[in-house]
C-alpha cells in the first residue's frame, strides 16, 4: 500500500498520456480522477496509521549509487511530516483532477492535461516520501518540470511560454542552491539519508553554509523575496494548475525542505535568523503588493507568496511543526480560493480582471459563500482553519528570542492579508456590477464537477485547523506561546480591522495607474521585475553576446580554430601559386638561382 500510493498516480499519468487518444477527454478525466482519488483514500488510511496510531514506516527499495564514499539507496520514509504532506498532496490533487474535468471540458488536449496533473502528483509524492536528499531531488526537479509543462499548457500563447521559461529558470537558481547544499552535506557528513544524517549532525561553520544553500533552494521553489517573480507570472497557466501547483503543493516543497532539514537548522542560529527574516520580509512584501493588484488570480498568487513567507518565518523561529500545520491549513483554503476564483472566471466567460466584475453575488451564491469561507480563513477569522495556524505562528514569533521586527512585519501582514482578501470579495461580488452585457447574460453557477471539490475544500477550510492540531503536534505537545493577552488578541483585532476597513475605503480600493506613485510602485510589485530585467537580465544578456559569443566563440576560438587556419592555408597557397607566373624567363631565373644555390651548397660542404 505504501508503494501503491506512489505508483497509482504514475500509472494514471502513463495511462492518460499514452492512451489519451483512445480514452478521449472524458475517459482520461474519469480514469485519472478515479485513480488519484484512490491514491487520496490510501493516503488517508496511511495517515490514520502514521499520525493517529503513531507507526512511522521505513522502506528500503534498493541500491542506487554505490561507491566507496557515497551510498544512496532508493527508499521511502513515512513519518509525521510525510503523512501531513501526503494528505495535502493527494487530497488537493484529487479534487483538482475532478475540478479539471469540468473546468477544462472544452479543451481538446484534456488527456494531456490530466496526464501532466497526475505526473505532477507522482513527482510530488516522490519528493515527500523519499528518505534521502538525492531522491528528494528527483521529485524536486520533477515538480519543476511539471510546473513548466503545465504553465505552458496553452503553448500557443506567447505569455504562457515566457512565464513557463521564467518559472523554470528562477526555479533553477534555487535548484543550484539545493545541489550545493547536497554536495556540502555529503562532504561534511558523508551521508545523504535523513536518519544517518540527523543522528550525526553537529555544529560547524559548514552547517551554516548548508543551511544557507538549503534556504536558497527553498526560496527558489517557495517564491521567497528575490526569487518570487515567477509565481505571479505562473498565473498564465490554467486555473486548476494555479490551484494545484502554485498554491497548494509545489510551492510548499521549499517549506517542506526546510521542515525536513530542521535538525540541520537547529545547529545553525545564523541561518535560522536569516530564514526568519527572509520569510517575514516576503510575507510583508507580497501582502503590500496584493493590496492593489487588479487581476483576481494575481491577488491570490501574492497572498500565496505571503503565506509561504509565514511558513518560512515559522521555520525561522525553531517551530517547524507550526509551519507544517500552517502548510496543511493553507493548502485547503488557498486551493479553495483558487478554485473559487476559477469558478468566477469560468462563469464570467474567462474574465480575470477584478475591475470588470462586481455584483455577481446574486448569480453565484454558492461560489460566494465558499470564497467567503476561504477569505475568512485566510484572514485568520476565529474558529476557521487559518485562525489556528496563523495566530499560533504570530504568537510564537512574538515569543521567539530573535528579532522582534519579524513579529511586527508579520502582524502588519496579517492586517494587510485581511484587507486584500476582502477587497477581492468586495470587488468581485459586492460592488456595483461592471460586467459586459454578454457575460452578465450568461452568468450562472457551473456544474457539480466544478462545485463539488469546492464544497469539500470549504468544509476542509473550516474543519482542518481544528482537527489537525492534535495530529500535527504529536501527542499533545502543541507549543504554548507565552504572550500577553493583548498580543494574543492582536491578530484577530488586526484581521477584523482589515475586513472593516475594506467597506470604509470601498470607493477608493480600485484605481487606475496613470503616473508613478506609491500605488504604481505597489502595482508593479516593488519594480522587482524591472530591476531584475534591467540590472541582471540585460547585463547578462550583453555579457553573453559581446564576451561569450562575439569575443570568445566567434572571436578567439574561431581564429585559432577552423576559420583562422583555413584562411592561413588559402593565403599561403595563393602566394606560392603566384610564383608560377607562366613567363619563361622567370622559370629560367628560378632554375639558375636554384642551380646556384645547390652548387653553393655542394661546394661549401
Partner 1 sequence: MSYLILSIVILLIGILGIILNRSNLIIMLMCVELVLLASTILLLFESRVLYTLSGQIFAIMILTVAAAESAIGLAIMVNYYRLRGTIAVRAINLLRG
The residues that touch partner 1, with contacts defined as CB under 8 A, are: 577-585, 588-589, 592
DSSP H stretches of helix in 348-400: 365-379, 385-399
Angle at 570 between CA 566 and CA 571, to 5 degrees: 115
Closest listed residue to residue 110, CA positions, set 120, 124, 119, 97:
97
Q: Give just the sign of the alpha carbon dihedral 206, 260, 470, 329.
A: positive
C-beta of 169 vs 589, nearer to partner 1: 589
C-beta of 55 vs 580, nearer to partner 1: 580
C-beta of 444 vs 577, nearer to partner 1: 577
- For the chain, the 3-state helix, strand and coil shares in percent, each to the nearest 5, are 75, 5, 20
Give the phi and the psi of residue 447 in degrees, each rounded to 5: -80, 180
C-alpha 553/C-alpha 574 separation (Å) is 28
Q: What's the grid cell of residue 476?
A: 499533545
Q: What minimum distance in Å lies between the beta carbon of 582 and partner 1? A: 3
Give the phi and the psi of residue 191 in degrees, each rounded to 5: -130, 155
C-beta of 159 vs 580, nearer to partner 1: 580
C-beta of 438 vs 590, nearer to partner 1: 590
Q: What minimum distance in Å lies between the beta carbon of 588 and partner 1? A: 5
- Contact (Cβ atoms closer than 8 angstroms) between residue 86 and residue 128: yes
DSSP H stretches of helix in 48-132: 80-103, 110-129
Chain centroid to Cα 169, Å, comes to 12
C-beta of 563 vs 580, nearer to partner 1: 580
List beta partners, residue 74.
62
Q: What is the 3 state secondary structure string of 303-328?
A: HHHHHHHHHHHHHCCCCHHHHHHHHH
What is the longest distance spanned by two Cα atoms in the chain?
118
Give the phi and the psi of residue 359 in degrees, each rounded to 5: 70, 20
Q: What minimum distance in Å lies between the beta carbon of 553 and partner 1? A: 37
Q: What minimum distance in Å lies between the beta carbon of 590 and partner 1? A: 10
Q: What minimum distance in Å lies between the beta carbon of 577 and partner 1? A: 4
Q: What minimum distance in Å lies between the beta carbon of 575 and partner 1? A: 11
- Contact (Cβ atoms closer than 8 angstroms) between residue 112 and residue 17: yes
Q: What minimum distance in Å lies between the beta carbon of 585 and partner 1? A: 5
Closest listed residue to residue 6, CA positions, set 116, 126, 90:
126
C-beta of 70 vs 598, nearer to partner 1: 598
C-beta of 21 vs 574, nearer to partner 1: 574
Helix axes 405-425, 269-290, angle to 10 degrees: 30
Q: What minimum distance in Å lies between the beta carbon of 570 and partner 1? A: 14
- Contact (Cβ atoms closer than 8 angstroms) between residue 114 and residue 29: yes
Q: Give just the sign of the alpha carbon dihedral 596, 597, 600, 605.
A: negative
C-beta of 4 vs 589, nearer to partner 1: 589
Q: What minimum distance in Å lies between the beta carbon of 591 and partner 1? A: 10
Closest listed residue to residue 305, CA positions, set 249, 351, 246:
246
C-beta of 172 vs 572, nearer to partner 1: 572
Q: What minimum distance in Å lies between the beta carbon of 600 and partner 1? A: 16
Amino acid at each position: 500500500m505504501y508503494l501503491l500510493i506512489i505508483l497509482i498516480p504514475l500509472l494514471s499519468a502513463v495511462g492518460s498520456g499514452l492512451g489519451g487518444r483512445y480514452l478521449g477527454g472524458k475517459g482520461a478525466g474519469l480514469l485519472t480522477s478515479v485513480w488519484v482519488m484512490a491514491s487520496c483514500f490510501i493516503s488517508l488510511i496511511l495517515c490514520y496509521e502514521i499520525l493517529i496510531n503513531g507507526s512511522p514506516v521505513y522502506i528500503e527499495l534498493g541500491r542506487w549509487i554505490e561507491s566507496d564514499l557515497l551510498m544512496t539507496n532508493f527508499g521511502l520514509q513515512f513519518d509525521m511530516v510525510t503523512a501531513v504532506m501526503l494528505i495535502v498532496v493527494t487530497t488537493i490533487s484529487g479534487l483538482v483532477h475532478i475540478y479539471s474535468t469540468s473546468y477544462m471540458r472544452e479543451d481538446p488536449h484534456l488527456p494531456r492535461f490530466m496526464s501532466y496533473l497526475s505526473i505532477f502528483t507522482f513527482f510530488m509524492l516522490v519528493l515527500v516520501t523519499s528518505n534521502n536528499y538525492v531522491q528528494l531531488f528527483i521529485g524536486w526537479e520533477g515538480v519543476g518540470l511539471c510546473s513548466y509543462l503545465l504553465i505552458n499548457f496553452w503553448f500557443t500563447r506567447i505569455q504562457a511560454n515566457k512565464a513557463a521559461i521564467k518559472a523554470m529558470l528562477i526555479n533553477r537558481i534555487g535548484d543550484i542552491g539545493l545541489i550545493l547544499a547536497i554536495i556540502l552535506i555529503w562532504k561534511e557528513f558523508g551521508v545523504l539519508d535523513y536518519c544517518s544524517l540527523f543522528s550525526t549532525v553537529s555544529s560547524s561553520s559548514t552547517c551554516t553554509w548548508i543551511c544557507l544553500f538549503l534556504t536558497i533552494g527553498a526560496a527558489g521553489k517557495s517564491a521567497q523575496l528575490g526569487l518570487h517573480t515567477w509565481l505571479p507570472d505562473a498565473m498564465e497557466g490554467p486555473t486548476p494548475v494555479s490551484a494545484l501547483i502554485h498554491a497548494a503543493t509545489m510551492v510548499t516543497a521549499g517549506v517542506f525542505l526546510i521542515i525536513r532539514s530542521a535538525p540541520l537548522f537547529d545547529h545553525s542560529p545564523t541561518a535560522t535568523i536569516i530564514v526568519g527574516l527572509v520569510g517575514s520580509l516576503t510575507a510583508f512584501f507580497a501582502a503590500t503588493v496584493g493590496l492593489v493588484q487588479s487581476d483576481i488570480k494575481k491577488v491570490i498568487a501574492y497572498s500565496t507568496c505571503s503565506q509561504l513567507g509565514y511558513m518560512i518565518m515559522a521555520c525561522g523561529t525553531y517551530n517547524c511543526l507550526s509551519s507544517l500545520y500552517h502548510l496543511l491549513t493553507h493548502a485547503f483554503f488557498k486551493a479553495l480560493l483558487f478554485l473559487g476564483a476559477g469558478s468566477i472566471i469560468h462563469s464570467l466567460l474567462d474574465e480575470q480582471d477584478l475591475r470588470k466584475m462586481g455584483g455577481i453575488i446574486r448569480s453565484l451564491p454558492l461560489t460566494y459563500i465558499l470564497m467567503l469561507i476561504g477569505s475568512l480563513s485566510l484572514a485568520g477569522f476565529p474558529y476557521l482553519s487559518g485562525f489556528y495556524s496563523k495566530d499560533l505562528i504570530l504568537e510564537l514569533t512574538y515569543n521567539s528570542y530573535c528579532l522582534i521586527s519579524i513579529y511586527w512585519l508579520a502582524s502588519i501582514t496579517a492586517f494587510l492579508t485581511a484587507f486584500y482578501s476582502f477587497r477581492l470579495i468586495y470587488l468581485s461580488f459586492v460592488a456595483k456590477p461592471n460586467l459586459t452585457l454578454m457575460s452578465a447574460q450568461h452568468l450562472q453557477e457551473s456544474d457539480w464537477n466544478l462545485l463539488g471539490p469546492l464544497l469539500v475544500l470549504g468544509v476542509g477550510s473550516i474543519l482542518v485547523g481544528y482537527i489537525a492540531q492534535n495530529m500535527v503536534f504529536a501527542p499533545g505537545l502543541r507549543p504554548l506561546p507565552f504572550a500577553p493577552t493583548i498580543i494574543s488578541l492582536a491578530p484577530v483585532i488586526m484581521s477584523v480591522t482589515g475586513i472593516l476597513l475594506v467597506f470604509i475605503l470601498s470607493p477608493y480600493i480600485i484605481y487606475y495607474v496613470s503616473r508613478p506613485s506609491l500605488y504604481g510602485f505597489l502595482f508593479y510589485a516593488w519594480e522587482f521585475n524591472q530591476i531584475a530585467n534591467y540590472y541582471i537580465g540585460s547585463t547578462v544578456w550583453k555579457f553573453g553576446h559581446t564576451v561569450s559569443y562575439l569575443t570568445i566563440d566567434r572571436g578567439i576560438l574561431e581564429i585559432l580554430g577552423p576559420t583562422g587556419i583555413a584562411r592561413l592555408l588559402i593565403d599561403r597557397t595563393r602566394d606560392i601559386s603566384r610564383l608560377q607566373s607562366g613567363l619563361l624567363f622567370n622559370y629560367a631565373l628560378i632554375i639558375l638561382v636554384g642551380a646556384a644555390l645547390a652548387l653553393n651548397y655542394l661546394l661549401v660542404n
